[in-house]
Amino acid sequence: MTINTVNFKDSKVIVRVDFNVPLDENGNITDDTRIRGALPTLKKVLADGGALIIMSHMGKPKGKVNPKFSLGQISEAVGDALGVTVTFAPDCAKAADQAAALKSGEVLLLENLRFYPEEEGKPVGVEKGTPEFDAAKKEMKARQKEFAKTLASYADYYVMDAFGTAHRKHASTAVIADYFDNDHKMLGYLMEKEVTAVDNVLSNIKRPFTAIMGGSKVSTKIGIIDNLLGKVDNLILCGGMTYTFAKAQGGKIGNSICEDDKLDVALGVIAKAKELGVNLVLGTDCVAGDDFKNDCHTQICPANDIPEGWEGLDAGPETQKLFADAIKDAKTILWNGPAGVFEFDNFAAGSRAVAEAICQATENGAFSLIGGGDSVACINKFGMADRVSYISTGGGALLEAIEGKVLPGIAAIKG
Ligand code: AMP
pLDDT in tens, 77-87: 999 999 999 99
Residue 24: the pLDDT is 87
pLDDT tens sequence across 343-372:
999 999 999 999 999 999 999 999 999 998
pTM, two decimals, is: 0.88
Residue 91: the pLDDT is 98
Query: Of 12, 16, 34, 193, which residue is the catalytic one?
Result: 34
Report the C-alpha gap between 199 and 167 in whole angstroms: 16
Report the C-alpha gap between 18 and 194 in whole angstroms: 13
Nearest to 347 by CA among 284, 266, 286, 267: 286
Nearest to 121 by CA among 175, 196, 41: 175
Instruction: Return the percentage of the chain with pLDDT > 90, whole number.
Output: 88
Residue 367: the pLDDT is 96
Residue 131: the pLDDT is 87
Residue 351: the pLDDT is 98
Query: Ligand 1: which residue has its CA nearest to atom 4?
Result: 215
CA dihedral 10, 16, 19, 20 (to 10 degrees): 160
Question: Is 396 one of the catalytic residues?
Answer: yes
Residue 200: the pLDDT is 84
pLDDT higher than 80, residue 304? yes
Query: Ligand 1: which residue has its CA nearest to atom 18?
Result: 240
Mean pLDDT of 120-142: 93
pLDDT higher than 90, residue 403? no
Nearest to 113 by CA among 244, 19, 26, 34: 19
Mean pLDDT of 311-336: 97
- The per-residue pLDDT of the chain, averaged, comes to 96
Residue 115: what are its φ and ψ, rounded to 5°? -70, -15
Mean pLDDT of 48-66: 97
Ligand 1 mutation pick, 222, 341, 346, 347, max ligand atoms within 8 A of CB: 341
Nearest-atom number in ligand 1 for the CA of 341 is 12
